[in-house]
Amino acid sequence: MESMSLSSHIATQIYGNFSFTPTAEQKKLIDALGQYLTTEDQSAVFLINGYAGTGKTTVIGALVRTLQRMELPCVLMAPTGRAAKVMSRYAGADAYTVHKTIYRERRAGGAEDSRFDLNFNKSHDTLYIIDEASMLTGRAASFNGESAVFGTGDLLEDMFDYIRLGRNNKVILVGDQAQLPPVGYDRSPALDPEYMAKYGTVWYFTLSEVVRQQNDSGILHNATTIRAMIEARLADIPPFDPGFPDIARIDGRELIDEIDSCYGRYGQSETAIITRSNKRANHYNQGIRRTILDYDEEIASGDMLMVVKNNYHYVERDPNAAMDFIANGDIARVHRIYKTREKYGFRFAYAELEFPDYDDYSLECWLLLDALHSDAPGLSREQQSQLFLAVEEDYAEIKQKGKRYKAVMGDEFFCALQVKFAYAITCHKAQGGQWSAIFLDVALFGNEPMTIELLRWLYTAVTRATERLYLVNYDDRFFPANE
């Protein structure tokens, strides 16, 4: 079959896997995908920038089903466990985190020597599809000196090196340029054609037309308004339209009852409050635990937690672990608290956790409770240093500095999991995930001006909701039609 007829055949098969008639934009994208999959250009990279409600997940789902029926290999990846779970759900196939796919662990000793090198890749003629690509970085974030733990420290570079270790593999990156870029970037490098040109010939396609089936969604209607302002570089307060059944404007007096109602309707794991700061998230978390959940303990069975620092210590004990490491941003549910302990000037709890985004995989570990209430993202550098020095005293009998350092780095208390409560989280932590109900905390404080960055924050936060969006304490400036 000639390349042109093969590309048409693939496009026809993708059409056949649609559950409704594609839009004109979707048809053009499907035709382009057929051409891309048959191109002989080994360096070609396909970037799909699809805004909320434009049906990019529908196209990718149909593509995956087509590849499966044609018995063509395909690998699905996403930056986080929650994003991989969302991708797996809409594509109807297993999806994995980028880190789990492209890296393998290399240790000279215990977990204190954990390093992740590029994995082996013997695949060939395989299509790699990476969702939520706006979250991918061109260099690893250097928080807490962890940038060198994974490969070269450049995630995109490592990902392409891994994929191209195999023969004739192709890459599709899917994302939304209107969302928040990675921390430290002013735009998402993985969706930037100029940046991505260093990896080969860039095929670029934008989906901007909201599909007809989504026209009655207030969530997508308001997200599209914000997106249009971002595209126009119009840094002004967006005019929210609350006249939809899936949008509600509420104030603080209604908040507790509405959160409680959503917990009953959707469940705690499908309800989230998104805030602009860790300080406000802490305030919400404490209020929810005290007022709605009636928790008096500092931490309790049933609590939802979010990991705030990568941890390589605990899963290395389990050869059947669902993940290679516990990642910053992973969500866990407390199944049981066994004991608590004060040591080295810090508080710890030994607990069994379940990870809902990894098929409820469970493990037992020490939790560092001091991070729960900190207004910082995790322990401060000063606290981390304080804990290190205190633990080091227990290994004073080890005279050789290098061996003493390794002993501290493998200590169960020094390696305790740093977590925060996950009822309210920041927008960067929410990115890549979806919840049935989102409570969106106020975006502007006082006379604070609107910026393009804040519009991206709003757009990203609004599009985390799938069924219900609550605008909490938004003043009349956001609702000019009501004036």
Can you tell me which residue has the tokens 């309790």?
300
Do the domains spanning 6-213 and 216-294+424-478 agree at the CATH topology level? yes
Name the nearest CA neighbour of 429 among 421, 298, 437, 154. Answer: 421
What's residue 110's pLDDT? 45
What value does the mean pLDDT take over residues 268-293? 93
Q: What are the domain boundaries of the chain?
A: 6-213, 216-294+424-478, 303-419
* CA 219 to chain centroid: 20
What φ, ψ does residue 38 adopt, rounded to 5°? -110, 0
What is residue 107's predicted lDDT score, i.e. its pLDDT?
A: 54
Bridge partners of residue 78, in order along the sequence:
97
Residues sharing a CB contact under 8 Å with residue 349, sequence separation 6 or more, in sequence order: 298, 299, 337, 338, 339, 340, 341, 366, 367, 369
Q: Which CATH architecture has domain 6-213?
A: 3-Layer(aba) Sandwich (3.40)
Q: According to the CATH classification, is domain 216-294+424-478 in 3.40.50.300?
A: yes
Mean pLDDT of 369-395: 88
Q: What average pLDDT does the segment 167-171 reach? A: 94
Single pTM value for the model: 0.88
Is pLDDT of 114 > 80? no
Q: What is the pLDDT of residues 38-56, one digit of tens each?
A: 999 989 999 999 999 999 9
What sign for the dihedral angle of Cα 13, 14, 20, 26? negative
pLDDT for the residue numbered 482? 63
